[in-house]
Amino acid sequence: MSVPQTINGLMRHLRNDCNIQISGSYQKQQLISYGYYHGYKGYRFIKNRHNQIPYTNFSEVVAVIEYDNNLKAALYSDLMFIETAIKNIVCNESANGLKLGTFDHIYKERMFDNAANTKLQSKRLRLRNSVYSKLSTRYHDEEGSDNQMVRHFYNRGEDVPLWVVFEILYLSDLASFFECLNESMREHIMTQLGMFDISIDTNRNLLSSMLYTIKSLRNSVAHNNIIFDTRFKDRKISPVLKKWIEKETSIQNITLYSLIDYIIIVCCLLKRVDFSSSRAKQLVHTYKSQNQILQNSVASAIYVQIIQQNVTQKIAALETYLNT
């Protein structure tokens, strides 16, 4: 097993082996604070380790780290707001008009159409198993806790209401829940959100596609993983989502290759759940500002690697969309 490197040794390694100038107590403290492995090792490339960023000074590494951190800070509250708002909307609409507002009742009453669709039926069964598994885990974890949200109902011999289920669902579970609803219910919810377009979304699954797509971004932001180069991307953009976003915003070439495409999707959702559009406009303003700060802080060869050529045009088109 190799001997751990000292900070001074890591600084020499950066200078001698990585051709990155680093010196002095200030940059030494920066290396300690950001961390060699979480900091430099994580930010030394774009998407994969074969696509190295041509740093010449450690200050450029710090600039990229700060750029990434500031974007995560800007996105965090918006992604949490979207998740909470969509949960509330789907929960309320799913239970509206039913005698009982429990998951079991909704599963029987509003997740039963297209019985011949074995793929959909399998998804519904997996969703049911996942919900009951999470309730069981939560019931066990609440033993001795003052916050007995699940135990409160089960210990009285009652089923937990749907709002409790939604409190413990992950974003991917929310997407799955929506996907498993009857087609008419999915259409109703998307119509309520002003998102339904029969010419594009014949299967009424646009919302679940959006939620599945931003899930990896949301998780990376929440767990302080790197986001600036979209290395979190875990799926190709669905054709339905691509067509809807491009028609909705008039912004073409939505590929999810660049972070701007995720920001566009987030803004489309914010425009539906935050009716003043103030959150979306602030997010775009912050993204523009951070791009400018990055441009002023790194060599042009680094900036053009991180910010693709069409980003400026997409930002301008996004601002136009949000102002209409």
pLDDT tens digits, one per residue of 10-65: 999 999 999 999 999 999 999 999 998 888 999 999 999 899 999 999 999 999 99
State how far the Cα of 287 lies from the Cα of 43, in Å rounded to an integer.
Answer: 19
The tokens 């028609």 sit on which residue? 247
Q: Is 188 found in the same domain as 116?
A: yes
State how far the Cα of 17 lies from the Cα of 84, in Å rounded to an integer.
Answer: 47
State how far the Cα of 238 lies from the Cα of 255, in Å rounded to an integer.
Answer: 10
Ramachandran assignment for 258, one of left (phi > 0), alpha (psi -120 to 50 degrees), beta (any other): beta
State how far the Cα of 269 lies from the Cα of 253, in Å rounded to an integer.
Answer: 19
* pLDDT tens profile 199-252: 999 999 999 999 999 999 999 999 999 999 999 999 999 999 999 999 999 999
Q: Is 309 found in the same domain as 165?
A: yes
Q: Is 275 found in the same domain as 145?
A: yes
Q: Is 138 found in the same domain as 43?
A: no
Banded model confidence at residue 147, pLDDT cuts 50, 70, 90: confident
Q: Is 44 found in the same domain as 76?
A: no
Q: Helix 58-95 vs helix 24-34: angle between axes, to the nearest 10 degrees?
A: 30
Nearest CA-CA partner of 66 in 313, 318, 296, 310: 296
Host domain of residue 24:
7-61
Q: Is residue 187 part of a domain?
A: yes
State how far the Cα of 234 lies from the Cα of 257, in Å rounded to an integer.
Answer: 11
